[in-house]
Amino acid sequence: MLTRKQYELLVFIDRHLKRTGFSPSFEEMKEALQLKSKSGIHRLISALEERGFLSRRHHRARALEVVRLPEDAAPRIQEAVGSARVAEPQNFAPNVIRGDFTSRLPGVRAANEAGAVQLPLYGRIAAGLPIEALRDAGTQIEVPMALLGSGEHYALEVAGDSMIEAGILDGDTVVIRRGENAENGQIVVALVDENEVTLKRLRRRGNSIALEPANARHETRIFPADAVKVQGRLVALLRRY
């Protein structure tokens, strides 16, 4: 048995999907049900998921799917349709993207209200190129907000097998929080001698820095501290199968 609000939200999502082909944003759902915050929408969606009426395709934006409607849906839908609380906003424009992700994450383009952002995807980590040389302003990758924290982020495609024992495989995409500081043991993007970029585990040893691979077939490399510049640290890993 669904509560009235759960039912109204389910009907609104179902009608929006049939009309537009994609699920409504959290802001649209909040306005349609006349709720004060999006947290109420989160709770309603979670309840509908638990009861088997909705499913969510994770790591995809605006990807709600109505699995089923209640058996008494027909008469109740007519009642809900007549309610102002589930009427579509008169100025609804499906191409408008709402949100303030850009103010929270500098350098990140806003994606949508469903919990994902677009990060710049740099090229494959390759010897002889500093990070900025890998930048391709036209390439973006969608990343769930839950994987990110504060600060500026970017993504890199991994080349090689030097970090496989840390679960990082050739062709994976790593999400990096930009910064110049890192603690011992953290996996970082390091610029060596101003011309080589590598993804390794950082170890400080006196006036030296060791860049450790996570593969027994690769050797740890040790450099003077001033020869290594940290350009960010690993915060997430993405992989397609």
Using a cut of 0.75, tell me whether the model's pTM lies above it. Answer: no
d(CA 228, CA 148): 25
The domains of the chain, with CATH numbers, are: 4-86 (1.10.10.10), 121-238 (2.10.109.10)
Share of residues in the chain with pLDDT > 90 (%): 13
d(CA 209, CA 195): 17
Grade residue 227 by pLDDT with cuts at 50, 70 and 90: very high
Among the options 23, 25, 200, 229, which is catalytic? Answer: 200
Does the annotation count 200 as an active-site position?
yes
Q: Which of 65-74, 90-99, 123-132, 140-149 has the highest mean pLDDT?
A: 140-149
Place of tokens 């049939």: 18
Grade residue 234 by pLDDT with cuts at 50, 70 and 90: very high
Provide the sign of the torsion angle of the four alpha carbons 174, 108, 111, 28, taken in this order. Answer: positive
Among the options 23, 25, 30, 162, which is catalytic? Answer: 162
- The 3-state secondary structure of 176-221, one letter per residue: EECCCCCCCCCEEEEEECCCEEEEEEEEEECCEEEEECCCCCCCCE
68-81 pLDDT, tens digit per residue, is 887 655 444 444 44
108-129 pLDDT, tens digit per residue, is 554 444 477 888 887 777 544 4
